[in-house]
Amino acid sequence: MAYRNLEIAHRGAVRTITVNRPDKLNALNRDTLNKLTLAFAQAAQDDAVRVVVLAGAGEKAFVAGADIAEMHGYSTVQAQAFSRAGQRLASAIERLGKPVIARVQGFALGGGMELAMACHLRVASEKAKFGQPEINLGLIPGFGGTQRLLRLAGRAAALELCLTGAPVSAQRAYELGLVNRLVPPEALDEAVNALADQLAATAPLAAAGVLDAVLTGGEATLDQGLEFETQTFALLFATGDMREGTAAFMEKRKAAFKGE
């Protein structure tokens, strides 16, 4: 399926979804948000897809934020709907049930940083910039930025980035725990592809279990999280992948997981 403002590419079990508005620094208008939501829903339903990479077209930006020209004329009701659309997309990414990697080059600001934080892993160019500049527009983050930033980097970092609106370097983002891997610009694609291939080779049901357990545990008490982990651990013993993985280990060979 073709999507306006998006490019979809495949490499084995890895699907890359690229926001393709380079003339607007890949800014997110309502139509692009809706198309991204559909694209991720399709990826969730396609068993051939084991990993998704989210990227931005061009070298200047991953996603530079929301489309301010479109937002400027919004009423309160329209703004609320826009925020909820962004939050729906971020939640769809976070709860996809398959690993999602953000490939970040250039600017990841506002809604762009919020989408990157919704991804499970972030690989960034050393030249990338991260920030929540909404306060400079008389606003606050609306796509989940205050909440995911708090959970990923802690209260002090969330308040600093959201109150000052100042962007931080990729190195600073790495130090705050917002970036998993930091690489030279020329090595970005190689690093993203290597990580995606590694994840695509893992057991899909186990990967989904890890994602569910970490997300559930982050919003639960320790005892509740431990119980969820136990139940997920036990359920995976009913899968063919568990039998294949343990057999491969004992037979000293590479496992061939089928997601069954």
Q: State how beta strands 14-19 and 100-104 pair.
A: unpaired
Catalytic residue among 94, 126, 134, 175: 134
Summary count for the chain: helices (H), strands (E): 11, 10
Measure the N-to-C terminal CA separation of the chain; round to a whole number of Å.
27
Catalytic residue among 114, 160, 175, 229: 114
Q: What is the spatial distance between Cα 203 and Cα 129, in angstroms, rounded to a whole number?
A: 33
Q: What is the spatial distance between Cα 166 and Cα 161, in angstroms, rounded to a whole number?
A: 6
Does the annotation mark 260 as catalytic?
no
Q: What is the spatial distance between Cα 156 and Cα 37, in angstroms, rounded to a whole number?
A: 31
Tokens (6 digits) for 89: 């997309």
Q: What is the spatial distance between Cα 92 and Cα 41, in angstroms, rounded to a whole number?
A: 7
Residues labelled catalytic? 114, 134
